[in-house]
Amino acid sequence: MIKSIGEAKSKQEEAYFIEKQSKLLKEQVKTNQIKPDGDSRILRELLVRFIYCEMLGQPVPFGYMTLLNLTQMKARLIDKRIGYICASLFLHPKHPMTMMCVNSFTRDLKSTNHVEVDMALTAMSFLLNEEAIPAVLGDVARALCHAQAQVRKKGVAVVGRILDIDENYLRDVKDYLLKCLCDVDPSVMAVTLNTYFKLVSKNPSAYKDIVSSLVSILKQVIEHALSRDFDYHRIPAPWIQIKCLQILGLLGSGDKASSEHMYEIIGETLRRADNGINPGHAIVYQCIQTITTIHPNPTLLSVAAENIARFLVSRDHNLKYLGLKALREITKINPALTVQHHKEVIDCLTNQDEAIQRKTLDLLFTMTNPQNVVAVADKLVEKLRETTDKYLRADLVQKLTQIAQDYAPDNEWFIKTMNKVFVYGGGLVEPKVAYNLIVLIAEGGTGGSDEDADMELRIYAVKSYFEILEKHVVLSDILTQVIAWLLGEYSYLIGRENDAIGVMCDLMDRQHDDEYVRVWIINALIKLVSQTQTYPTQVSLLVEKYRTSINVELQQRCMELHALSKDLPAMSNFFPIDASCWDINVDENLSFLDNWIERQ
């Protein structure tokens, strides 16, 4: 059969062969050719065929009763084991025939043969459902006290399955679990730790009483009190250490009293795990995770920060990634401890691994403060300029905007940085960012308290945007809007109003994703015409071109400019210089019409 499947040259040929086998097996079952008490070798061969049919998408429900009958076999344990294995493969907890296994479970759990008990517990881990729990709970609890460690271990696994279904059964097995947590056999202890990890994850406050037990277990492990059979690369039971640390982290989070019982053992575990190989690295990383999770201890945090260096300088990309993750957790608690690793973090930006680059960017964002914002922003801008990944670009734009707003050393640096974001970030910049920049320039960095400084800021901004126009041909819509507004308002400060008019005319005829950008440009032209008291031919031609635009607002602005151009002196009254921050009093009663109404 296996040979025929392997030689199939198409999916259709394979499906045809499996369907043929299924029909043959069904006929054999129907004619009673397959008997549970028959030749074991033939029976096992047929069960293998059942497995292949199921595995390749052809259900064999007609054979389920055969394998359930095998679970009842008393004389031949190998057949019983095969029956349980096939039941675990073919059935699931919600299958109607699963309840027919309960009788086999209860009988085998009471057996004096530990092999039968072990087989039943193994199958129960896969098949147990809510309806069957009351029938087997007592026997499972007794299995936790069995003389054989293998049975106790499987019993704890079944208890974990029961608690996954309904945690209310914990009161019936809690004492047994506590006993298994301190079992003389490390394998039983390890399985029990996994069960407690799931329980503590859901409700840490209910299990504060096991802190001392976990500390004791961890102490025994690191002092090599366990059998050497559980060592891995000379590290004593590393998986038990890691699981203990994970549970301690959950129990110590936000709990100073519980955390104080852990500090010493966590520090000792961290010290002993430093052997330069992967199991040791795993324990060191988990120690750092636990230290950053429990109630903070300055000494432990300092030691943890020092140990991160080994990860960051490693050539192994996986270790670098872990180092970046660990450093970010420490940054959340005490950013000062991460300063010593700033160079290593910056170096990670040039790593070829994309995951490391992304994690480094996240860490740099978290580490940013007023002292290092310039260096961090430069690195983020450099990455924004180089990358083509749209999701990474969007993330970089958001991060750059945030740190520029929060930590800018001065307003000129803020404008310079945001200009780079506009140039390299394109349409990824949110409109509110452009609005905030416009407000800053219009109101001034001092809010009007130092008019000279505010004017210098505006002059700097105007010059910077003229430089952008000279260096970059392709501009995003949002940057074009900012440039149009700024040059329309303040180009007179450096005497380049005519240059600004030429720039606006050029921008007007460029391709824009949003037609509304041209409304901003025509508004700028209106202000520039008012300031220069001239109506250049190129502006006149643009107005004529867009007076018939399908965009109603653009059409209206062009009509207004055309009409106002006939009385240029009057335009100065409508568009005074630097009036963007003037307070406008709205006459809601329209009192200026009173005289006209009286005449009517």
pLDDT at 212: 94
User: Is residue 448 included in any domain, yes or no?
Assistant: yes
Would the pLDDT of 578 be above 80? no
**Does residue 5 have a pLDDT over 80?**
no
**Other Cβ atoms closer than 10 A to 450:** 13
Say whether pLDDT at 579 is over 70.
Answer: no
Q: How far apart are CA 376 and CA 309, in angstroms?
A: 20
Cβ atoms of 127 and 71 closer than 8 Å: no
The whole-number pLDDT of residue 371 equals 87
Residue 183 lies in a domain: no
d(C-alpha 574, C-alpha 49), whole Å: 91
pLDDT number for residue 504: 92
pLDDT in tens, 170-195: 999 999 999 999 999 999 999 999 99
Q: Does the residue 39 lie in any domain?
A: no
The domain tally of the chain equals: 1
CA angle 201, 207, 210 (to 5 degrees): 115
Question: Tens digits of per-residue pLDDT, 100-136?
Answer: 899 999 999 999 999 999 999 999 999 999 999 999 9
What is the reported pLDDT for 1? 64
How confident is residue 522, by pLDDT bands cut at 50, 70 and 90? very high
Helix, strand and coil percent figures for the chain, each rounded to 5: 75, 0, 25
Is the confidence at residue 34, as pLDDT, over 70? no
- What percentage of residues in the chain have a pLDDT greater than 70? 95
Asked if residue 271 has pLDDT above 60, the reply is yes
Between CA 444 and CA 453 the distance in angstroms is 8
Q: Is residue 433 part of a domain?
A: yes
Query: Is residue 38 predicted with pLDDT exceeding 70?
Result: no
Q: What is the mean pLDDT of residues 190-217?
A: 94
Structure confidence at residue 270 (pLDDT): 93
Tens of pLDDT, residue by residue over 310-336, are: 899 888 999 999 999 999 999 989 888
Residues 1-17 have a mean pLDDT of 75
The DSSP annotation for 132-151 comes to THHHHHHHHHHHTT-SSHHH
Query: What pLDDT sits at residue 575?
Result: 77
Q: Is the pLDDT of residue 447 over 70?
A: no
Q: What angle do CA 131, 133, 135 make, to 5 degrees?
A: 95
Structure tokens at 568: 């240029």
| DSSP assigned state of 583 | -
**pLDDT at position 405 over 70:** yes
Residue pair 519/554 in contact (Cβ under 8 Å)? The answer is: yes
Residue 259: the pLDDT is: 94
From 135-149, 408-422, 560-574, the region with the lowest mean pLDDT: 560-574
Residue 163 has pLDDT above 60, yes or no: yes
Q: Work out the pLDDT band at 35, boundaries 50, 70, 90.
A: low
2 in any annotated domain:
no
pLDDT at 396 over 60: yes
Give the pair of three-digit tokens for residue 365.
Answer: 């964002």
Q: Please report which confidence band the pLDDT of residue 244 belongs to, taking 50, 70 and 90 as the band edges.
A: very high
Residue with the bigger pLDDT between 272 and 8: it is 272
- What is the per-residue pLDDT for 582? 54
Q: Please give the average per-residue pLDDT across 385-396, as a whole number.
A: 88
Distance CA 15, CA 24 (A): 14
Domain annotation covers residue 170: no
What span, in angstroms and rounded, lies between the C-alpha atoms of 372 and 380? 12
Q: Residues 342, 376: contact at Cβ < 8 Å?
A: no
**Is a pLDDT exceeding 80 seen at residue 479?**
yes
With 60 as the cut, is the pLDDT of residue 581 above it? no
Q: What is the pLDDT of residue 284?
A: 94
Residue 451 has pLDDT above 60, yes or no: yes
**In angstroms, rounded to a whole number, what is the distance separating the alpha carbons of residues 325 and 345?**
11
Place of tokens 């600004």: 500
CB atoms inside a 10 Å sphere around CB 524:
25
Judged by average pLDDT, the poorest of 51-55, 63-67, 581-585 is: 581-585
Dmax (CA) of the chain: 119
Q: What is the mean pLDDT of the chain?
A: 88
Give pLDDT, residue 50: 87
The answer on pLDDT for 446 being more than 70 is no
- What residues make up the domain containing 459? 417-600
Mean pLDDT along residues 205-209? 91
Q: What is the pLDDT of residue 16?
A: 80
- pLDDT(583) > 70: no
Give the pLDDT band (50/70/90) at residue 448.
Answer: low
In a domain, 439, yes or no: yes
Residue 33 has pLDDT above 80, yes or no: no
Q: Is residue 500 part of a domain?
A: yes
**What Rg do the C-alpha atoms of the chain give, in angstroms?**
38
The mean per-residue pLDDT over the stretch 285-306 comes to 94
Residue 243 has pLDDT above 90, yes or no: yes
Angle between helices 133-143 and 170-181 (to 10 degrees): 20
